[in-house]
Chain A
Amino acid sequence: LAKTTQPISMDSYEGQEVNITCSHNNIATNDYITWYQQFPSQGPRFIIQGYKTKVTNEVASLFIPADRKSSTLSLPRVSLSDTAVYYCLVGTLVYNQGGKLIFGQGTELSVKP
């Protein structure tokens, strides 16, 4: 099972770009990298997912180097509403090859005015 390591907390200001890096040295060939966002008193929600190289959607970008041992979530021009905990999750659910999806500690992002 791939173990993930992220910074515990990060601070930023409105309008800045925020990059959160996740280390996953023992990622397996079939594993995907998925990031979730969690606000207080809510369940986590999906932000972005990738397997290799770069993925971009309407809210974030995900950069994955060739060795896939780390990944970086990039949030462009953050606002106060981006204050949340961000989790990196590595795993797969290919039949009979997975299921035990274990979260790391998460990164608490605080965006200030």
Chain B
Amino acid sequence: DAGITQSPRHKVTETGTPVTLRCHQTENHRYMYWYRQDPGHGLRLIHYSYGVKDTDKGEVSDGYSVSRSKTEDFLLTLESATSSQTSVYFCAISTGTGNEKLFFGSGTQLSVL
């Protein structure tokens, strides 16, 4: 949808290992976001980016870092994965022109054992 690809779609990893999730867009949109979704918590913003090398924290940024070296790619890294980071991760994009509509990727199911 809307030229957004998340990879991997599914990942199982062990506690303490580093994990990187990738979001790739072909829309040349300025803003990119990472959300996580857990039962009973809805969508929670982790980090977002408003341009290359420009990022900011969201609601639940502890334990996560991001990087955006190109307009089309936004990486989310769990430096040392914990079981509490088991979740579905969604990437979203928007143009950044004011009346924003978010376009979401299909999500990455991450399980930390």
State the A residues within 8 Å of B (CB). Answer: 30, 32, 34, 36, 41-46, 49, 51, 85, 87, 89, 91-95, 99-106
The listed residue (A42, A92, A104, A105) touching B100 by CB distance below 8 A is A92
Instruction: Decide if B102 is an interface residue (CB 8 Å cutoff).
Output: yes
The listed residue (A44, A95, A100) touching B43 by CB distance below 8 A is A44
A-B contact count (CB 8 A): 77
State in angstroms the CA–CA spacing of A93 and B101 once bound together. 10
State in angstroms the CA–CA spacing of A30 and B98 once bound together. 8
- The smallest C-beta distance from A102 to any residue of chain B, in angstroms, reads 5
Q: How many of chain B's residues touch chain A, expressed as a range?
A: 20 to 34
- The smallest C-beta distance from A25 to any residue of chain B, in angstroms, reads 19
Q: Across the interface, name the chain B residue whose C-beta is closest to A30.
A: B98
What are some 20 contacts across the A-B interface (CB < 8 A)? A32-B100, A34-B102, A43-B90, A43-B92, A46-B103, A49-B99, A49-B101, A85-B42, A93-B50, A93-B94, A93-B97, A99-B31, A99-B50, A99-B56, A100-B56, A101-B45, A101-B94, A101-B100, A103-B44, A104-B42
Q: A42-B107, A43-B90 in contact; A103/B101 too (CB < 8 A)?
A: no
Q: A43-B107, A101-B102, A105-B42 in contact; A93/B31 too (CB < 8 A)?
A: yes
The listed residue (A32, A34, A87) touching B42 by CB distance below 8 A is A87
State in angstroms the CA–CA spacing of A34 and B103 once bound together. 12
Going nearest first, the 6 A-B pairs with the smallest beta carbon separation are: A43-B104, A103-B43, A93-B100, A105-B42, A93-B96, A94-B98
